[in-house]
Amino acid sequence: MKLSIIIVNYNVKHFLKQCLLSVVKATKNLEVEIFVIDNNSIDSSVEMVQNEFSNVNIIANKENTGFSRANNQAMELSSGEYILLLNPDTIVEEDTFSLCLNFMDKHSDAGGLGVKMIDGEGRFLPESKRGLPTPSVAFYKIFGFSALFPKSKIFAKYHLGFLSKEKNHEIEILSGAFMMMRKKVLDKIGFLDEEFFMYGEDIDLSYRILLAGYKNYYFADTSIIHYKGESTKKSSVNYVFVFYNAMIIFAKKHFSEKNAKLFSFFINIAIYLRASFAVLNRLIKKLSLATFDFILLASCIYYISILYQDYTNIIFPPKLLLFAIPLYTLSWILSCSLLGGYDKPYKISRLISSTFVGSIIILVIYALLPKDFQFSRSIILISTPLAFCIFFFNRLVYHIVGWASIKRFKRTKKSFALIGSKNQADKIKQLLEETANINSFYFVNPGGFDNDDYDADINQLNDLVFLKKIDEIIFCAKDVSAQDIIGIMSSLSNNHKLNFKISQADTYLLIGSNTIQSNKDLFMLDLNNISKNSNIRLKRSIDIFSSLVLLISFPLTFFLYKNPFIALKNTISVFIGLKTWVGFTPIDNNQQLPNIKKSILHVSQGIKPINDDVASKLNIIYAKDYSFIYDLKVLLKNIKIIG
């Protein structure tokens, strides 16, 4: 066996599928074995591999054993002359493995090999080549000197910024996203150190390869896409602690006691600085806009109240002002939150509806309060347009400084370039027409197809992007090689407004890197309506309201249920958010749908006759055109069997 490929997966099914499809193409004429180790994913990753990749060896762990242990499980079973550790959120070129193996065969001193990596927007990933994180190197990295002097041989050693990314080099540290190693070297030095749960294990193993007298190489003659950060979110506090503690483990293991203490000192400073920054950043992002809304609106209502008293000679008790103004302001804020006024990108229509609904709520509260606690209706009515103006003003400020965007001020109509056969491109166009706000489509011939039906050839793509102001390029993976995809993405990576997506054959999925703002890299064409934040809140609101009604009325409806105690248990599960009332019908065709909570009932409940084809169509309709009314209909129709 020439090569053993090992992929550890954790809840990234769609990226894993795309990765495996590229791996299968790249191993066509090679003697290889492929292992997928799943760390107890809940997204049907195991079933997908079993159903669609019969030649892949799957190891399904019953718990998350961590990256090191999972890789070691497969390495213990592997028989290849070389072992490759590969991330599931990667795409390899068709000749990546053959080129890497050829290089390793020619360089007997090579213990490990890494390749040139780009992200989902075509930008070079600096972690493709790294230096050993000694105390001085770590210090320059942690405190920003490497960013200030990215080409310096002194300050930029962490990512070896002084070495050309286009040439092969000896390096010290390989990236765990693509780490090809000689098996006999691993037999000599041991596998991954399981003390590292996640992060740092690639640094440790790379360093042990060097200590054993072998070299690590950066190989620039092939590239891969690495959708960086899909398995973990690197802005989280947990990531900061796990990553930097891994560095401390490494220092204690390999450095002298004096250097290890110095390294640990700087790392601990970094941990608390970065963790504090992460917490503060998250709080600012989540609460700053609502806080500004509250302070500004409450202040304006207060001054309006003062002016109103001066003008009408009606005096409000100070305690009433202290009680009423914050309460009414909070009502507008909560209404704005529930109706999507804080969802990005900001929409003016949401601000209008949330202001109106908030005013209705306030007037209802006003009517229910005792007369002594009633505030002026005139001030409430005056404050309604004021609330909208303040909401809009604050979001306009966020839009101007670049923290967010207002949809009305953003070019919402997109121009797409679809690269692939006309048949595949037409399917994507059909799906996009139902989900995207489209300006124009342009069909690009990847080569080998009749030119008559295309707007441009692949070699004219740069001109097409510039002249037609293309917003998004979609590659049909069936018709465009991974090598061409990666080459095009790299060549256009300087165009920061351009997005790239990849469509696999016979799927509803487009996979790519979206804006940092949305932090979503997986797109379900035609099936994303139920996943919208507004619909998630709406579905949850219906679940809470209906389950609360059923809980209150349970003593009266006890005899209505076929199994009342199971019905009570299910109702409580829905109320506390463990389950939802209505979900997709489970079928055996591996249908790709948005993830929602486990449900008590399904969309085809009570519909007869039912088969997989009908159930599949009902699932798609439910995902695409979600309506809370349908949830209520299914629940009321099947109320007797919720137990």
pLDDT tens digits for 15-37?
899 999 999 999 998 999 999 99
- Range name among 123-132, 186-195, 239-248, 474-483 with the lowest pLDDT average: 239-248
pLDDT tens across 207-238, in order? 899 999 999 999 999 999 998 754 444 445 55
pLDDT at 334: 87
DSSP-based three-state secondary structure for 549: helix
pLDDT band (50, 70, 90) for residue 348: confident
Average pLDDT value for residue range 105-119: 96
- Range name among 100-104, 398-402, 474-478, 630-634 with the lowest pLDDT average: 398-402
pLDDT tens across 287-305, in order? 788 889 999 999 999 988 8
pLDDT at 430: 76
* DSSP per-residue letters across 282-343: HHHHHHHHHHHHHHHHHHHHHHHHHHHHHHH-----HHHHHHHHHHHHHHHHHHHHHTTTTS
Is a pLDDT exceeding 70 seen at residue 591? no
Is a pLDDT exceeding 70 seen at residue 263? no
Is a pLDDT exceeding 50 seen at residue 280? yes
pLDDT tens across 499-551, in order? 899 988 766 577 876 533 333 434 444 455 787 777 888 888 889 888 988 99
Among residues of the chain, what percentage have pLDDT more than 90? 35
DSSP-based three-state secondary structure for 475: strand
Greater confidence (521 vs 401) lies with 401
pLDDT at 58: 96
pLDDT at 365: 77
Return the top range by mean pLDDT from 166-170, 247-251, 275-279.
166-170
Is a pLDDT exceeding 70 seen at residue 255? no
Among residues of the chain, what percentage have pLDDT more than 70? 84
Is a pLDDT exceeding 80 seen at residue 326? yes
Average pLDDT value for residue range 1-24: 93
Is a pLDDT exceeding 80 seen at residue 245? no
How many CB atoms are located within 10 Å of the residue 371 CB?
5
- Range name among 89-93, 315-319, 508-512 with the lowest pLDDT average: 508-512
pLDDT at 105: 97
Both tokens assigned to 629 = 């009314």
pLDDT band (50, 70, 90) for residue 52: very high
Is a pLDDT exceeding 70 seen at residue 267? no
Average pLDDT value for residue range 307-311: 84
pLDDT at 139: 74
Greater confidence (368 vs 263) lies with 368
Q: How far apart are CA 553 and CA 540, in angstroms?
A: 20
pLDDT at 605: 86
Q: Give the per-residue SS3 of 426-442.
A: HHHHHHHHHHCCEEEEE
From the number of C-beta atoms within 10 Å of its C-beta (0-12, 13-18, 19+), residue 469 rates as middle
How many CB atoms are located within 10 Å of the residue 243 CB?
18
Whose structure tokens read 């309604």?
384
Greater confidence (559 vs 198) lies with 559
Average pLDDT value for residue range 182-187: 95
Region class of 549: left (phi > 0), else alpha (psi between -120 and 50), else beta: alpha
The H or E element containing residue 254 is: helix 237-254
pLDDT at 534: 74
pLDDT band (50, 70, 90) for residue 375: confident
Average pLDDT value for residue range 35-58: 91
What is the residue-averaged pLDDT of the chain? 83
Is a pLDDT exceeding 90 seen at residue 186? yes
Task: State the amino acid at position 556 in one-letter form.
Answer: L
Both tokens assigned to 435 = 């989900």
Domains of the chain by start residue, with CATH: 3-129+165-232 (3.90.550.10), 284-407 (no CATH), 411-526 (3.40.50), 530-641 (no CATH)
pLDDT tens across 376-396, in order? 788 888 899 999 999 999 988
The answer to whether residues 346 and 406 touch, using CB atoms and an 8 Å cutoff, is yes
The answer to whether residues 201 and 68 touch, using CB atoms and an 8 Å cutoff, is yes
Strands 456-457, 438-445: pairing kind: parallel
Is a pLDDT exceeding 60 seen at residue 200? yes
How many CB atoms are located within 10 Å of the residue 249 CB?
19
pLDDT at 7: 97
Greater confidence (593 vs 155) lies with 155
pLDDT at 199: 65
C-alpha R_g of the chain: 29
